[in-house]
Amino acid sequence: MFHSLGKYILLLRLSFRKPEKFSVYWAEIMREMVSVGIGSLGIVAIISLFIGAVATIQTAFQLISDFIPKTVVGGITRDSTILEFSPTISALVLAGRVGSAMASQIGTMRVTEQIDALEIMGVNAPGYLISPKIISGVTMIPLLVIVSVGLGLTGGYIACWASNDVSTTDYMRGLTDGFNPVIATVCAVKAISFGFVITSICSYQGFYVNGGSLEVGQSATRGVVWSCIMILFCDLIISRLLL
Amino acid sequence: MIEIQDVYKTFGENEVLKGITAIFHPGKNNLIIGGSGSGKTTLLKCIVGLHEPTKGDVIFDGENFTNMNFEQRVPIRTQIGMLFQNSALFDSMTVEQNIMFPLNLFTNQTKAEKLDRANFCLERVNLAGKNKLYPSELSGGMKKRVGIARAISMQPKYLFVDEPNSGLDPVTSILIDELIAELTAEYSITTVVVTHDMNSVMGIGDHIIFLHQGKKWWEGSNKEIAKTDNKELNNFVFASPFMRAAKASL
């Protein structure tokens, strides 16, 4: 456990060594950003719309009472979407989509000696392969979370319009009433942290693969499992510290 | 010139290399041969720095590579070209991008100059016009040739080749051997080839080291190998009835 943690920290240190040539790294960062950001937009959009809709319907179901104003549904949906659903659920899904792809890509490069080829050329392989992935993770995952928040709240609006449990006017009033900016800060901190956790853990798992295709698959699975565990752990810590 | 001095390599309890000493001269095809598990690839990886020797030194033209850190090794590494057993081409890049990759990182050439160099290297390995193909679209022999083109793109002083003939038909194997030998002579490169292909040994083996049980068991040239009375080497080289018959007819 401590041995792995030490290896992980040393790998991160190697990953952020001065690049051989910034322009080559920049091209790689852009490629990773497109892969993480644009490539994940579809799945994030779909889950966000559904989660927003479901959150609204379930909140409305639990708060049917003459003593509770209907606008509360919008407020609760907004806060739960921004604080928890969008960053955490998106991150868990992205760990599966982005994280497993990163672990298998780096793992395959390891077992096919492509990483050895980089090292022979004098390239800092962790820097060239891992730092663009981490940079793309900490920049694109927060952007995806912003999109997810927008679509989650839109999903809630569609649910109100379709179900008539809460009027769209009440829902919109609930969304805009009593907004506390701290929740946006917490959401941003979570998104950045989760971006780092997913990309660094999965890259680490891929980089130290030993063996063949079976081990590459196992490393991708380990990367996703550890990322999910660490996402939930960071979620708890950030919530406890910032709220 | 590359000197390896008393190199040991241990993995846990397993001592793979047991005090190997050798000198590889420029302009010669230096072959490391031996049976499976004899330590050939481990020795190659110790020379190029993919494994750190447990003991001993690797010296490139008077500079002790073993004692250097990552940054100090970079200038020597830019003079090293290596062809891997499975070519190790970057899957996400085209042939041209593979060859231009080290040029992009370590030179300040313009795009046109880099493209010229890539085209020259491709012509040199008889693959002119294949610039835009991806590694998945190439045959085994073509991959090896692209690997060689990438290895020579930086005009290396040292060329390392790991099992160049594995998975290739005999005709393509000979073509790859001839290409390696031509490049070695043409640019006076210090070439080190790990192989267990007897065609390579007899065809291009200017200087051969035979490893057995992690030790240097024999050293000589392809002309001397047929006359040696070293039992282990004879068992290895002339293992098949065909080779024994060929030796008898010499």
Query: A5-25 pLDDT, tens per residue?
Result: 999 999 999 999 988 888 899
B106–chain A Cβ distance below 8 A for any pair: yes
Neighbour-count burial of A199, counting CB atoms closer than 10 A to its CB (0-12 exposed, 13-18 middle, 19+ buried): buried
Residue B98 in this model has a pLDDT that exceeds 90: yes
Specify the length of chain B in residues: 250
Query: B61-81 pLDDT, tens per residue?
Result: 999 999 999 889 999 999 999
Contacts of A22 in chain B (CB under 8 A): none
Answer whether B88 sits within 8 Å of A114, measured CB to CB.
yes
Residue B238 in this model has a pLDDT that exceeds 70: yes
Measured in angstroms, the CA of A193 and the nearest CA of chain B are apart by 29
Q: Are B187 and B107 in contact (CB under 8 A)?
A: no
So what's the pLDDT on residue A143? 97
Strand partners, A110: none
Query: A131-140 pLDDT, tens per residue?
Result: 999 999 999 9
Specify the length of chain A in residues: 243
B70, B80, B84 ranked by CB distance to A113: nearest: B84
- Where is pLDDT greater, at B226 or B222? B222
Measured in angstroms, the CA of A22 and the nearest CA of chain B are apart by 9
Q: How far is CA B233 from CA A133, B165, B195, in A?
A: 50, 20, 14
So what's the pLDDT on residue A214? 94
Tokens of B127: 């693959």
So what's the pLDDT on residue A31? 95
Q: Is the dihedral of CA A220, A221, A222, A224 positive or negative?
A: positive
Query: A57-101 pLDDT, tens per residue?
Result: 999 998 878 888 889 999 999 999 999 999 999 999 999 999 999
Alpha-carbon radius of gyration of chain A: 21
CATH of the domain at B96: 3.40.50.300
Q: Mutate which of A108, A113, A133 to disrupt the B interface (most B C-beta within 10 Å)? A: A113
B68–chain A Cβ distance below 8 A for any pair: no
Phi and psi of A59, rounded to 5°?
A: -65, -45
Mean pLDDT of chain A: 94
Tokens of B62: 């008077």
Query: B118-162 pLDDT, tens per residue?
Result: 999 999 888 999 999 999 999 988 999 999 999 999 999 999 999
Amino acid at A144: L
Domain range for B175 is 2-248
Answer whether B104 sits within 8 Å of A24, measured CB to CB.
yes
So what's the pLDDT on residue B171? 85
Task: Identify the band that residue B36 occupies on the pLDDT scale cut at 50, 70 and 90.
Answer: confident
Amino acid at A137: G
So what's the pLDDT on residue B170? 85
Kindly report the three-state secondary structure assignment for every residue of chain B.
CEEEEEEEEEECCEEEEEEEEEEECCCCEEEEEECCCCCHHHHHHHHHCCCCCCEEEEEECCEECCCCCHHHHHHHHCCEEEECCCCCCCCCCCHHHHHHHHHHHHCCCCHHHHHHHHHHHHHHCCCCCCCCCCHHHCCHHHHHHHHHHHHHCCCCCEEEEECCCCCCCHHHHHHHHHHHHHHHHHHCCEEEEECCCHHHHHHHCCEEEEEECCEEEEEECHHHHCCCCCHHHHHHHCCCHHHHHHHHHC
Answer whether A122 sits within 8 Å of B91, measured CB to CB.
no
Place of tokens 């639990």: A62
Mean pLDDT throughout A158-187?
93
Contacts of A124 in chain B (CB under 8 A): 70
Q: What is the DSSP string of A93-106?
A: HHIIIIIHHHHHHH
Domain count of the fold of chain B: 1
Answer whether B70 sits within 8 Å of A124, measured CB to CB.
yes
So what's the pLDDT on residue B223? 87
Answer whether A112 sits within 8 Å of B50, measured CB to CB.
no
Contacts of A116 in chain B (CB under 8 A): 50, 84, 88
B48, B74, B90 ranked by CB distance to A114: nearest: B90
Task: Identify the band that residue B169 occupies on the pLDDT scale cut at 50, 70 and 90.
Answer: confident
Residue A26 in this model has a pLDDT that exceeds 90: yes
ipTM: 0.89
Mean pLDDT throughout B49-57?
94
In angstroms, rounded to a whole number, what is the distance separating the alpha carbons of residues A111 and B245?
40
Mean pLDDT throughout A138-156?
97
Contacts of A23 in chain B (CB under 8 A): 104
Strand partners, B60: B2, B63
Mean pLDDT throughout A177-196?
95
Task: Identify the band that residue A1 occupies on the pLDDT scale cut at 50, 70 and 90.
Answer: confident
In angstroms, rounded to a whole number, what is the distance separating the alpha carbons of residues B146 and A208?
27
B78, B88, B154 ranked by CB distance to A117: nearest: B88
Contacts of B86 in chain A (CB under 8 A): 112-113
So what's the pLDDT on residue B242? 73
pTM: 0.89
Residue in A212, A199, A221 with CA at minimum distance from that of residue A8: A199
Contacts of A132 in chain B (CB under 8 A): none
Which residue of A lies nearest to B79 if distances are taken between CA atoms?
A121
B50, B90, B106 ranked by CB distance to A119: nearest: B50
Place of tokens 């649910």: A159
Measured in angstroms, the CA of B60 and the nearest CA of chain A are apart by 14
In angstroms, rounded to a whole number, what is the distance separating the alpha carbons of residues B195 and B48?
16
So what's the pLDDT on residue B250? 63
Neighbour-count burial of B48, counting CB atoms closer than 10 A to its CB (0-12 exposed, 13-18 middle, 19+ buried): buried
In angstroms, rounded to a whole number, what is the distance separating the alpha carbons of residues B118 and B101?
10
